[in-house]
Amino acid sequence: MTVDERALGESLVAILSDLIAIPSPYPPGESTAICDYAAARLLKAGYRTEILARKPGVDNVVARLGSGKPSIVFNAHVDTVGVGERANWKTDPFKAVVQGGAVFGLGAGNCKGSMAVQLWLAEEIARRGGPKQGEVVFTFVADEENLGPEGMSFLREAGHVKPDALILGAQTENQLIVAERGVLWARVAAEGKAAHAGNPSAGDNAVMRLVRVAQAIEKKLGPKLAKRRDGAMRSTMNIGQFHGGHNTNVVPAAAWLEIDRRLLPGERVDTAFAEIHTAVAAAGEPARKVSVEFLTGTNGFRAPAKGEAIAALTAAIKARTGRRARFLNATGVSDGRYFADDGIEIINFGPGSGAQGHAANESVPIAQMVDAALIQLDAVGRLVGLS
């Protein structure tokens, strides 16, 4: 069954225009309206569709067709970043504008372009009678921009999805990301004793204590992490926040910093957290005056090199473009991280450039959306069979 590519492009633009017109920024992260839209389309197409939420207003859609194995799960997040400085936008952020072969609007690239493609894909699979074996599942989730637990993390924890392969919408220009670093956030706090700034020796400066701790962390961990590499991926650390004191004329009694650690697929969150503990202890400060708190963390992942989903997508890319698929390096993290320890194939794929995400006047090329739709339709056919 062939697809009219011109009509496909028009359909994708229409769906994306609808999605852009439904505000779903974080904050506040409310996703009721956009999930209602997606659920209505999927229900009409014949999917067994649920809207699931653990936190009121932070809705997620799960829609399935077929049953059994393999379970091929598609995912796109419905939330966007905020508009930011409105003056930087050349058009209304909540109105899709087609110009130069691309669709402009808030979330056009990240991640409503992929969401539009996946909605069309879901409907096309249903038009063709559904999978001949196994099931296809489409998930549209909130709380991604917040790195929060109420979206894909919730669906996994509650057992609503149990994928054999997870294909996440992402701005990869229709290439593949199959490996991703883990992430760990930790807070280090230092205590001191307040005193008047005119007599600092009467106090104990928590900011200066934390400075010494930060220097010890860099000295202890910096050289080690610099040696850890996995292809283009690097093991990194960044102190992203440093706060202390409340008034210039007071010796600060408390201070804290937060660390972002990116871990190679072979590193573990618990080991990385222990390394931070060791580095903090190396500062030599009194143990009762310094604490280390785990904030959040997930391990990295690498999809199996000979996975069936990767093989299907690479073959589909070659068939569509005439070129071999490229495997890209991920800078950030995706919702795939919640499945990192499940031994499944996790793949990021979709239209648009990562440079367009989180920026004013973001856009997604229509031609890439068309390619993404046809590549994924081909891949589904290879994995579960379609008419």
Give the 3-state secondary structure of residue 27: coil
Among 298, 329, 347, which residue terminates a domain? 298
Q: What is the CATH number of the domain that holds 247?
A: 3.30.70.360
The contacts of residue 65 (CB under 8 Å, 6+ apart) are 46, 47, 48, 122, 125, 126, 130, 131, 135, 136, 137
CA 110 – CA 175 distance, rounded (Å): 16
- Both 124 and 41 in a single domain? yes
Q: Does residue 315 register a pLDDT over 80?
A: yes
- Is residue 223 exposed (0-12), middle (13-18) or buried (19+ Cβ within 10 Å)? exposed
Domain of 202 in residue numbering reads as 182-298
- Both 73 and 170 in a single domain? yes
| pLDDT tens-digit map of 342-353 | 999 999 999 999
Q: What is the CATH number of the domain that holds 68?
A: 3.40.630.10
Among 298, 313, 348, which residue terminates a domain? 298
- Both 120 and 166 in a single domain? yes
- Both 99 and 53 in a single domain? yes
Q: Does residue 332 register a pLDDT over 90?
A: no
- Both 197 and 308 in a single domain? no
Q: Does residue 1 register a pLDDT over 80?
A: no
pLDDT of residue 152: 98
CA 21 – CA 43 distance, rounded (Å): 21
Among 298, 332, 354, which residue terminates a domain? 298
CA 221 – CA 277 distance, rounded (Å): 11
- Both 107 and 208 in a single domain? no
pLDDT of residue 256: 98
Largest CA distance in the chain: 83
pLDDT of residue 357: 75
- Both 22 and 136 in a single domain? yes
- Both 82 and 194 in a single domain? no
Model confidence at 305, pLDDT cuts 50, 70, 90, reads: confident
Model confidence at 306, pLDDT cuts 50, 70, 90, reads: confident
Per-position b or e across 190-202, b if 16+ CB within 10 A of its CB: bbbebbeeeeeee
Model confidence at 304, pLDDT cuts 50, 70, 90, reads: confident
DSSP state of 181: -
The contacts of residue 93 (CB under 8 Å, 6+ apart) are 20, 83, 86, 105, 106
- Rounded mean pLDDT, 107-120: 97
pLDDT of residue 320: 98
pLDDT of residue 191: 98
- Rounded mean pLDDT, 75-80: 98
pLDDT of residue 275: 98
pLDDT of residue 217: 98
Q: Computed from CA positions of residues 368, 373, 377, 382, in that sequence, does the dihedral angle turn out positive or negative?
A: positive
pTM of the model: 0.91
- Both 100 and 65 in a single domain? yes
pLDDT of residue 354: 85
pLDDT of residue 387: 81
Contact criterion met (CB below 8 Å) for 107 and 169: no
Contact criterion met (CB below 8 Å) for 80 and 145: yes
Mean pLDDT of the chain: 96
- Both 79 and 200 in a single domain? no
- Both 230 and 117 in a single domain? no
The contacts of residue 246 (CB under 8 Å, 6+ apart) are 252
CA 310 – CA 72 distance, rounded (Å): 12
| pLDDT tens-digit map of 165-222 | 999 999 999 999 999 999 999 999 999 999 999 999 999 999 999 999 999 999 999 9
Q: How many domains in the chain?
A: 2
pLDDT of residue 331: 85
The CA-atom distances, in angstroms, between 230 and each of 116, 227, 233 are 34, 10, 5
- Both 145 and 283 in a single domain? no
| pLDDT tens-digit map of 362-374 | 999 999 999 999 9
More confident of the two residues 311 and 305: 311
- Rounded mean pLDDT, 249-264: 98
Q: How many percent of the chain have pLDDT more than 70?
A: 100
Count CA within 13 A, CB hemisphere, residue 90: 8
